[in-house]
Each structure stands twice: as C-alpha cells, then as structure tokens.
Amino acid sequence: METATQTKPEIAISLRDVNKWYGEFDVLKNVNLDVERGQRIVICGPSGSGKSTMIRCINRLEEHQSGQIIVDGIELNNDLKNIDQIRREVGMVFQHFNLFPHLTVLENCCLAPMWVRKIPRKEAEATAMEYLERVKIPHQAKKFPGQLSGGQQQRVAIARSLCMKPRIMLFDEPTSALDPEMIKEVLDTMIELAESGMTMLCVTHEMGFAKTVADAVIFMDAGQIIEMNTPDEFFNHPQHERSKLFLSQILGH
C-alpha cells in the first residue's frame, strides 16, 4: 500500500462543511468531522437525523453536494478511480446484512478479494477461513446465507468486509434487525474488532457497546452534529438539551 508508506495520514476520515440535499430537503448541514486512525466512534441520534446518510457518504453510496470528504488521504470527488480506491479500503456492514444469497458463505467472503484485489482463489479462501474463524463460524462456510440465523449472517457480513483487509470499517445499525438473543454475539465480534485497532464508525443505539469501546460518541440531530464527546461525558453530562432528551428517551426504556 503505497499511500501508507508515503504520508501515513494521522487523520483517517475528514469531513469539511459537507452538505447534502434530497431535493429541497437538507439532510446534512455543514457537517465537520475528523476521525483519527484507530479511533472508534459511535454515532447516535433520532431517526431521520442523517446518521446513515453521513456514513454512506464516506464510501460514496450517497453523493454529497458540497464540502470536502477525504478518506485515507484520498479526496472523494467524481473521479471514479478515487471512489474505487476508497471503497477498497473502507468496509461496510449493513443493517440487513446484504449477503449475496446465491453464493455460499465462503464465496461471499472470497468474491471481492478475488475480483477487486485479484488474489488467487486458494489464497482468498484461506484468508476467508481465517476471518470466519475469527467471527466464530468456520463450520458454516459451505452453507448459503439463507440457512443461517440473523446473528450468524451479520457475523458473515463482518467477515466478508474484513476479507478485503480494509483500514476503516463503517457499521450502519448492525444489530437493529436482530433478535435480542443474537445481538450479543454480533457486538462481541465488533468489540473484538475494535480492540484489534481498527478505525470504526458505528451508527448504533447499543449504549453498552459505546461505553465499552468507543473513543467518542457523536450525537446527530436534523442533519447536524450536535455534540461530540467521550462516552463518559456524553452519557453522564450531556451538553445539549436535545442530547439530554434523546438519552432520556433511549435509556428510559
């Protein structure tokens, strides 16, 4: 990886005055954010506040309309080469897993390494098995996603992303489509990943997770970052009325 040896940017992700509209509707309003390499950040906020939109802008699943997004030292613009390069380095885990149902678990994990990174099949499979081992489902490698439980599918999805050896991982509510008894197995996997030093941006309402591993919690509302603080500060002394209200709502239940 040439970029790493040349500059080794301390800042993994940087958003400068990012704005995005859906038609007339202002989804992101002047968002500024710097994520350092190795930082784990949890993003929370009410529904519709633009959390998903923000992290989806980071790997260009959504296009921002003004401002600057720099990922891993590369600026996201209309240059397709940049987009491809960034997507290689940024893994993403979705709320609904989005595994490829026509491929086995192992094939799901090998597809991108083989086609994007041009790694030979044997090697890709070995790496895939390593990561499946890490998320504790190596024995399901030959099954199809439809034959697994939700928690297992989400762990496969995490392994699939990791097989690309990304430098940054994005999570968009990875546990909110899961039954309660499966949430823990996915969170444990994420905690382990966080402890390995991965740069992580997680949209989640799992406050336990935030308290255990997050370096910072971001609170978003109406397309803006209202507050960014350490988990300790954020949960015990929220600065803004809206954060207080939000916390009382999710912790109240």
Ligand X SMILES: Nc1ncnc2c1ncn2[C@@H]1O[C@H](COP(=O)(O)OP(=O)(O)OP(=O)(O)O)[C@@H](O)[C@H]1O
Residues lying near ligand X in the complex (CB under 6 A) are found at: 22, 25, 27, 45, 47-53
For Mg ion, which is the closer residue by CB, 52 or 199? 52
Stretch that binds other proteins, among 11-19, 65-73, 89-97, 196-204 (CB under 8 A): 89-97
For other proteins, which is the closer residue by CB, 102 or 139? 102
Task: Please report the sign of the dihedral spanned by the C-alpha atoms of residue 127, residue 10, residue 191, residue 226.
Answer: negative
Minimum distance from residue 77 beta carbon to ligand X (Å): 21
Kind of pairing between the strands at 224-229 and 74-75: unpaired
Q: What six digits make up the tokens of 34?
A: 């710097």
Minimum distance from residue 59 beta carbon to other proteins (Å): 6
**Vertex 140: Cα angle to 94 and 101 (nearest 5):** 45
Q: Is 161 one of the binding residues for other proteins (CB under 8 A)?
A: yes
The interface mask with other proteins, positions 100-129, x = CB under 8 A, is: xxx--------xx--xx-------------
3-state secondary structure of 151: helix
For Mg ion, which is the closer residue by CB, 53 or 140? 53
For other proteins, which is the closer residue by CB, 118 or 122? 118
- Within 8 A by CB and 6+ apart from 144, the residues are 101, 102, 103, 104, 105
Subset of residues 24 to 63 that bind Mg ion, contact rule: CB under 5 A: 52
Residue 64: contacted member of other proteins, ligand X, Mg ion, none (CB under 5 to 8 Å, by partner type): none
Stretch that binds other proteins, among 118-126, 160-168, 181-189, 202-210 (CB under 8 A): 160-168
Subset of residues 46 to 75 that bind other proteins, contact rule: CB under 8 A: 59-61
Q: Rounded to an integer, what distance in angstroms lies between the CA atom of residue 99 and that of residue 88?
A: 18
Short-list 35, 47, 40, CA closest to 231: 40
Minimum distance from residue 11 beta carbon to other proteins (Å): 22
According to DSSP, the residues that pair with 70 across neighbouring strands are 14, 75
Taking a C-beta distance cutoff of 8 angstroms, is the pair 69, 53 a contact? no
Q: Is 189 one of the binding residues for Mg ion (CB under 5 A)?
A: no
Residue 22: contacted member of Mg ion, ligand X, other proteins, none (CB under 5 to 8 Å, by partner type): ligand X
Subset of residues 30 to 49 that bind other proteins, contact rule: CB under 8 A: none
Interface ranges with other proteins (CB under 8 A): 59-61, 84, 87-88, 90-92, 94, 96, 98-102, 111-112, 115-116, 144, 146, 160-161, 164
